[in-house]
Structure 1
Amino acid sequence: MTGDTRQRKIRIRRTLIVAAFGIALVLFMWQGARLAREQALTELRHAAGNALQLSRANLIGYLTRHDYLPHLLATRESVRRFLARDERTRDTLTLNQLLDRSRAYADVSDIYLLDRDGTTIAASNWQRTDSFMGQNYAFRGYYRQAINGRSGRFHALGTQSGARGYYFSAPVRAIGHASNTPPDGVMVVKVGLDEIEREWQSLDATLLVADINGIIFMSSDPALRLTAFQPLSKSARKGLLSTRRYTDEPLPESGLRVLETLPDGARHVRLGDQDYLNLSQPLARFNWSLHILQPMRPIVRAQWLGALAAGGSWMLIALGSAIGWQRYRLRRERERFAERERQTLAHARDELERHVDARTRELVASNHHLSQEIEERKRAEQTLRQTRDELVQAARLAVLGQLAASINHELNQPLGAIRAYADNARILLARQRVDDADTNLAQISELVERMAAISAQLRQFSRKGGETLTDVSAQACFDYALRLFHARLEASEIRIVSQMSEPACWVRADPVRLEQVLVNLIGNAQQAMSDSTERQLILTVKQQDEWVVLSVADSGPGLSEEAMDYLFEPFYTTRAAGKGLGLGLSISQRIISDLGGRLEACNRPEGGALFMIHLPAATSSNAPLPEGPADA
């Protein structure tokens, strides 16, 4: 090899080393920036979520604290007498002053009274130029709700003042008119929104409230008020104009663009030339959604710092590697020099025999180690089976604990009633009113029977099922499961839709194990709908030839593709850590299989999950099921 060729190879090698060093530096800086971005994004999402939750609670408290006021004013005798008088004999000034004092005391925007036709006949702002006196508001939603006998709620721009407000209304009946007669007027309270928006402006973020049409009704940024997330359709604009909710405002687009959808419902959006992290929470009571726009400047700053830190780390690593490589080359040169001196035939023979002997010892040791691993694997499998059985029992006890908490809630109500009836009975006996006292004692007896039935439900669920299959009414099993979940479903505001066929459908099953499966499915549906705006539980029983199909459907988010693949796998769960063992559906599938049926799951076309239990129909349905759960 000539000297020029050798020098050329050295230059090529150095160029490749420098290029590899540069590529590695770029990759390190990119990875450091990515990790820093993820960490900063997590911290920013946590901070924005806390601010959003606090602002949501503050907004709900600010609006609902005046919910009582229209009802309180509607029951005042002076207001009811005012409506009962003829227009010529009414003392309008006195009532206007009363409404103005109430407005100042409650710290609200305006209070006014509408007659049966929706015309303002008294108002707290009667002396102002933009007074509501004589104005007709029959087109407003709060008037239509209250004139139909219900409490009214409505948000809109004022047609006189142009100020945004949230309206509460209540029906008013004149003196001498019973509560079941049509209202004679409507009391309205308007709450201004500027104060809560001023509090939002102290945050290092933008808060905004959008209605069901995507119109931004409230915002800490005045430029976003009365704009829309998406262009409004003609039908939506027509509906808004009918109620004059936003008067004649053009409602242009806000210019908010979604750039990326992030985990946990967060979004990366852009408004103008600035990027934001967007989180939202529903305000189901008002049919609104609350959004927060958190600037992403800290994330960009964290990315640069992460890239610089990663680049510096790579430089240190490269320097250390270069030093290590140089020492390695020197050591290799010394080893090659020594190796050339030991290359003799005798040494090669001795080396071969040594390697053979060492390899034999390694094989013996490997066989011994393999035998030990086989024994350890057997012990591990035995431990795994024992642990799995313990987890199955833990899952059942967890469900039992949740049901016990619900039944404890159910027992508190009759216990309070028993105490009240007992105290009344003592007073009645002291007054020699024996018949009335007997009535109270009869009520106590009925409540005790109700508590015994509730306790029997818990004993029924806690006992083990039998191996013998009997004729079981599918509808009665659903009724039992619903009784156990009555308190939890009512607390979660879940509406139950029962689609049971008549007459009752009978299956061959063990009632205890079948009821356990239904309790598990209903509990999963209740958990799935915890964040849903519309909460509806649909229970269905129908017979198809020789099979009976029991269905449990919900209006939750449904099942993901990953969940569909691993739904019945043991220990698989979509809940947060510590919220479930992932054994409920696996155990339920095994129970239904033992009963000779099958358990299937799918997503409903209209949204939500659907679980279907297929069980063989009973050949005879003559044996009736007991009215309540049997005693253990």
Structure 2
Amino acid sequence: MTGDTPQRKVRVRRTLILSAFGIALVLLMWQGARLAREQALTELHHVAGNALQLSRANLVGYLTRHDYLPHLLATRESVRRFLSQREDERDPRALNQLLDRSRAYADVSDIYLLDHDGTTIAASNWQRTDSFMGQNYAFRGYYRQAINGRSGRFHALGTQSGARGYYFSAPVRASGHTSDMPPDGVMVVKVGLEEIEREWQSLDATLLVADINGIIFMSSDPALRLTALQPLSESARKGLLSTRRYTDEPLPESGLEVIETLPGGARHVRLGDQDYLNLSQPLARFNWSLNILQPMTPIARAQWLGALGAGGSWMLIALGSAIGWQRHRLRRERERFAERERNTLAHARDELERHVAARTRELVDSNHHLSQEIEERKRAEESLRQTRDELVQAARLAVLGQLAASINHELNQPLGAIRAYADNARTLLARHRIEDADTNLAQISELVERMAAISAQLRQFSRKGSETLTDVSAQACFDYALRLFRARLEESSITVVSHMDESTCWVRADPVRLEQVLVNLIGNAQQAMNDSVERQLILVVEKHAERVILSVADSGPGLSEEALEHLFEPFYTTRPAGSGLGLGLSISQRIISDLGGHLEARNRPEGGALFVIQLPAAHPSSLPSENPADA
């Protein structure tokens, strides 16, 4: 019994030491986790607050930048004059187009005009199936505010489109009515909310806007939109139904649960199985509140790190004590450890040298393969350039084929005339009328020169262009292209309208390639006007700073949305099958790009297509009298 007492004391002492160590470890880890949570909460509150403040400024700026628009449109004389007309005299087409252009320019969802009874009499979406035309919106708050002479603001779900929007409205008074008279109508601008919500989705937090009734109207999380933060009272529900602000169906609850209230006005909330830090800021101008839900995952991670840091520190202290207690044992092991370390380092150094040598060989081989690939790429690029040049030349020859009928007509006329003059000259010579015969021979000479000029034009157009850029007269290039198309334009009864100034329309370009582009554009314009009553080809050259603008416009039907989107893609064409490969505009755009310019297409407001070429301006020291295309 007495022999076991020292051993029992050692076990008891060891148990007490381990127990004290464990209790101290638990207390330190708890304290470390608590301090880490408080610090992480402060940092997260700061991050969420900054994001909320920035999002609030962006939202207010996004909405209020359109506040001016209904007032501006309400003062337009065309709008006031339209509103002053009797209902049976109104033709809303021109006003519909004005509202549609204003909508596109201001980048808003819809613009529409209500009469005194709240019925839509003009709308930017008149051509859509869900048009507002004829719909009555007298129940909307923005109508009641504006018809009483005030600026209106309202947010709601669209009854026709089903899309959420924010509405701005302004009173409109008919022509002749002064500002102290009651309004005769209401101008309404609807702003879509999807753009600002898409910007919110780039944040690592959830943003939501709730109205005065606690209904989430906007959110970066689609699942939270049109849900209620808390159950609605009966009076609030009836008020929403009277204005038809949302759907007629009961709105579901968001499921947002408040766990605790934190310092600084923050709240700890839970949505599903995720905890969030919730901050809120009022938007008094809109009767909204902007909320941010910042995930609290970093707080839990900080708690674990704090607990582990405190526990690790305590373990390090305990370990230091243990190390101090065992220093005398480590002293004996030091030499053997140093020897093992030297051996390990030597082995590691040898392994490193072997790895470096192997990696160097791999890099040399990789560099060799890379050099081969670069050479192959250069050869491929040279082959591609040659192919592209051949394709441009093929397109030029294809245009010559399309002009064959016109050229044949141009040559047949002087040939017939030559034959007639020759027969007359022979008859005159037989009658000894030498002077008259000489006159006929002079006419034959002029006709031959004309045929030679036509042949020279064809030879000029078919030759390949040069990579060297020179000072070129844009007017001369247009004149050359028009000479090629003269017969076809006259046959199609197309009037050419030209606005050019020879002194300011010089560009840096290759004349052959520029002429090919102009021939392609003029040919397209001529074909586009085949079914048009008014056939007019407008050619304009004007200078802006260091750029010269060349425009080719027609009075044809214009370009469809699909054509504008795919117009410059290879093999895209709007012509019937067999009438073209769809390469002309693609090649033309590449030619203009190679010349340092830009080619674009759009529709003219008055109808027809417009092609615009921008090229660097040239400043020749003297203006040559001859046509550069004939040089």
TM-score, normalization by structure 2:
0.50
CA distance, structure 1, for counterparts of residue 318 and residue 6 of structure 2: 26
Percent pairwise identity: 90
2:251 partner letter = L
Q: CA deviation at 1:14?
A: 2.1
CA distance, structure 2, for counterparts of residue 298 and residue 165 of structure 1: 35
Q: Does 1:310 align with 2:310?
A: yes
CA distance, structure 1, for counterparts of residue 326 and residue 102 of structure 2: 88
CA distance, structure 2, for counterparts of residue 278 and residue 37 of structure 1: 16
Aligned to 2:610: none
Q: CA deviation at 1:129?
A: 0.5
Aligned to 1:28: 28
Q: CA deviation at 1:313?
A: 0.5
Aligned to 2:44: 44
Cα deviation code 1:9-65 (max 9, x no counterpart): 432232222111111111111222222222222111111111111100000000000
Q: Which has the larger radius of gyration?
A: 2
CA distance, structure 1, for counterparts of residue 145 and residue 249 of structure 2: 25
Q: CA deviation at 1:7?
A: 3.6
2:292 partner letter = I
CA distance, structure 1, for counterparts of residue 260 and residue 16 of structure 2: 38
Aligned to 1:217: 217
CA distance, structure 1, for counterparts of residue 24 and residue 254 of structure 2: 43
CA distance, structure 1, for counterparts of residue 7 and residue 52 of structure 2: 66
CA distance, structure 2, for counterparts of residue 249 and residue 163 of structure 1: 16
Q: Does 1:151 align with 2:151?
A: yes
Aligned to 2:263: 263
CA distance, structure 2, for counterparts of residue 219 and residue 323 of structure 1: 58
Aligned to 1:330: none
Q: CA deviation at 1:293?
A: 0.8
SS at match of 2:251: coil
SS at match of 1:171: strand
Cα deviation code 1:137-162 (max 9, x no counterpart): 11100000001100000000000001
CA distance, structure 2, for counterparts of residue 176 and residue 209 of structure 1: 43
CA distance, structure 1, for counterparts of residue 26 and residue 62 of structure 2: 52
1:38 partner letter = E
Cα deviation code 1:333-384 (max 9, x no counterpart): xxxxxxxxxxxxxxxxxxxxxxxxxxxxxxxxxxxxxxxxxxxxxxxxxxxx
Aligned to 2:336: none
Aligned to 2:119: 119
1:225 partner letter = R
SS at match of 1:155: strand
Q: Does 1:253 align with 2:259?
A: no
Aligned to 2:496: none
Cα deviation code 1:264-293 (max 9, x no counterpart): 111111111111111111111101000111
Structure 1 unaligned blocks of 5 or more: 328-632
Aligned to 1:230: 230
Structure 2 unaligned blocks of 5 or more: 328-631
CA distance, structure 2, for counterparts of residue 18 and residue 182 of structure 1: 89
Q: CA deviation at 1:241?
A: 0.3
CA distance, structure 2, for counterparts of residue 248 and residue 199 of structure 1: 29
Aligned to 1:62: 62
Q: CA deviation at 1:325?
A: 9.2
SS at match of 2:313: helix
1:124 partner letter = S
Matches of residues 515-526 of structure 1 in structure 2 within 5 Å? none
218 and 249 in structure 1: CA distance in 2 versus 1, 3 angstrom threshold? farther
Check conservation: 1:103, 1:109, Cα contact below 8 A: yes
Aligned to 1:239: 239
Cα deviation code 1:103-139 (max 9, x no counterpart): 1111000000011111111111111100111111111
SS at match of 2:166: strand
Aligned to 2:83: 83
Q: CA deviation at 1:260?
A: 1.6
CA distance, structure 1, for counterparts of residue 192 and residue 48 of structure 2: 26
Check conservation: 1:110, 1:125, Cα contact below 8 A: yes
Aligned to 1:292: 292
Aligned to 2:10: 10
CA distance, structure 1, for counterparts of residue 97 and residue 316 of structure 2: 80
Q: Does 1:319 align with 2:326?
A: no
CA distance, structure 2, for counterparts of residue 249 and residue 283 of structure 1: 27
CA distance, structure 2, for counterparts of residue 242 and residue 199 of structure 1: 33
Number of residue-to-residue matches in the alignment? 327
Aligned to 2:200: 200
Aligned to 2:139: 139
1:311 partner letter = G
CA distance, structure 1, for counterparts of residue 67 and residue 108 of structure 2: 11
